[in-house]
Structure 1
Amino acid sequence: MSNFVAALPMYDWPEMRSEVDAEWARLRDAFRQRGIDAPQTIARVNADLWPVDGGIRDAAGKVIAPDPATLPPDELDFHGLWLHPALLFAQTCWGPMELGLSEHVQVVGQPSYDAYEGGQGELYSSAIVMRADGSPSVRAPDDGSPLVPLDLLRSMRFTFNHSDSMSGFVGLTRDLEALGESLNIFSERSESGGHRASIVAIAEGKADVAAIDCQSWALARRFEPAAEAVTVVGWTRRRRGLPFITARTTPEPVKNILVDLLSSPGAVGTTVR
């Protein structure tokens, strides 16, 4: 049994489980062929993570996350996953990375967003969505520049997945600031807990606007019925997408193999560096 843990939680919708498992199988097999003892399956809940007696500590010995064994077993604490000392491979977001996560992990690659409108290579943008009114959806600018419809957004109720999310909160905040505005343009702000929940909230009339990263928006159009009641009215600036990370304590030879595999064209089929 592998001593490592791995996860691909960011787009792991229930309808996507088989595709996510297949993606991990490709990665796992590529890692194993290079001598890395990658785990057979990915972690999806706290119970899948190795216990860490006394809590997860940083290099100075300070506790920075609780022992996963003390957390609800059927939930997944993202920060506990990202900070886990046995983390071999996972996705995260540049929002948490900028807020301190980068001190405790190593970036080993970036996914490609070429398959999604609003994406280009390792860059992605977020669709700014509102309840559909019969108008056609706004296409993503070819050059990746922001397209923020201030007149439509003013006095609307803004909902977001998490306040540390680059795609759902931070990116739009920065685009507004570049236009001389702020989140005060909105009459209300509420945290939904996830991009899918934001879309449902807009469809149900509980909120008016949200920023949904381009891959999540593509998933919503495939799997979430509420997306039919929502339309794209603008786009945030293209920024780096979700980075792939490994623990700061991952041995250098292992980290180098991960970087090499993820930067090799066609090595795992879905990543670029």
Structure 2
Amino acid sequence: MSTFVAALPMYDWPEARGEVDAQWARLRDAFRQRGVDAPEAVARSNRELPAVPGGILDAAGRLIAPDPATLPAHEFDFCQLWLSPALLFGQTCWGPMELGLAQHVQVIAQPNYDAFEGGQGELYSSALVMPADGGPSVASPQDGKAIIPIGLLRGKRFTFNSPDSMSGLIGLTRDLEAMGESLDIFASRGESGGHRSSIVAIAEGRADIAAIDCESWALAQRFEPAAQGVKVVGWTARRKGLPYITARTSPAPIVAAMREAVAAVEGGASEQPLVQLVG
């Protein structure tokens, strides 16, 4: 039994779990073929994270997170996953990375977003969604620059998935600042807890505007009925997508083997690689 833990939680919607499991199976087998002791399945709850008596420490011996065994077993704390010394393979967002996570992990590769409107290579953007009014949605710009309809946004109720989200909050904040504006254009701001919840809140009239990353927006159009009640009115600028990561303590040979495996599995026979290797 592997002593490592792996998870792909960022797009692990209930309806898409079969696809996520299949993605992990391909990666797991490729890792094992290269001598990496990859776990059989991805983790989806705190109970599946290895206990760390005394809590998780950083490189200097400072406590940075509690023992996962002390957390609600049925919940899944992504921060605990990312900081786990047993993390073999996971995925995070550049928001948490910029806010301090980067010093505790190693980046393996960047996924490719060519399959999604709003994505190009390792870059992705967020769709700005508002209540549907019968009009057409705004298409993602070819040049990847931001389309921010200030007039539509001003005075509206903004909802975002989490304060550390690049796609849901930080990216839009930076695009507004580049225009000489700020989040103060909104009448109110509130945290929804997830991109899907933001879409539902808008469809139900509890919010007016949200920024939804392009892959989550694609999932919503497949699986979330409330997506029919909203439309795209703009796009944030393209930025680096969600990186694959491993613990800072993962040995260099294992990291190198995983990079090779990810490139082989997710690159396939495509003319353009589906991952951007890092390191």
TM bucket normalised to smaller: over 0.9
Is contact 1:30–1:267 with CA below 8 Å preserved after alignment? no
Residues of 1 paired with 2:40 and 2:56: CA distance?
A: 23
Residues of 1 paired with 2:274 and 2:17: CA distance?
A: 16
Q: Give the superposition deviation at 1:263.
A: 3.5
> What root-mean-square deviation, in Å, do the aligned CA atoms of Structure 1 and Structure 2 show?
1.3
Could you tell me which residue of structure 2 aligns to residue 88 of structure 1?
88
Q: Which amino acid aligns with 1:271?
A: V
Q: Give the superposition deviation at 1:270.
A: 5.1
Residues of 2 paired with 1:188 and 1:98: CA distance?
A: 25
Could you tell me which residue of structure 2 aligns to residue 173 of structure 1?
173
Q: Which amino acid aligns with 1:101?
A: L
TM (norm. structure 1) is 0.98
Amino-acid identity (%): 69
SS at structure 2 position matched to 1:10: coil
Q: Give the superposition deviation at 1:262.
A: 2.7
TM (norm. structure 2) is 0.96
Change (3 A) 1:3 1:220: same
1:34-53 Cα shifts (integer Å, max 9, x gaps)? 00010000010000111001
1:194-215 Cα shifts (integer Å, max 9, x gaps)? 0000000000100000000000
Residues of 2 paired with 1:220 and 1:31: CA distance?
A: 31
User: Is 1:164–2:164 an aligned residue pair?
Assistant: yes
Residues of 1 paired with 2:177 and 2:261: CA distance?
A: 38
Residues of 1 paired with 2:146 and 2:177: CA distance?
A: 12
Residues of 2 paired with 1:133 and 1:176: CA distance?
A: 24
Could you tell me which residue of structure 2 aligns to residue 70 of structure 1?
70
Residues of 1 paired with 2:68 and 2:43: CA distance?
A: 12
Residues of 2 paired with 1:24 and 1:260: CA distance?
A: 15
SS at structure 2 position matched to 1:233: strand
Q: Give the superposition deviation at 1:258.
A: 1.5
User: Is 1:193–2:193 an aligned residue pair?
Assistant: yes
SS at structure 2 position matched to 1:129: strand
Aligned length: 273
Is contact 2:27–2:262 with CA below 8 Å preserved after alignment? no
1:60-103 Cα shifts (integer Å, max 9, x gaps)? 11110111100000101111000000100000000000000000
Show the 5 A alignment for 1:139-150: 139-150=139-150
> After TM superposition, which residue ranges in structure 1, 4 or more long, deviate above 6 angstroms?
none
1:190-247 Cα shifts (integer Å, max 9, x gaps)? 0000000000000010000000000000000000000000000000000000000000
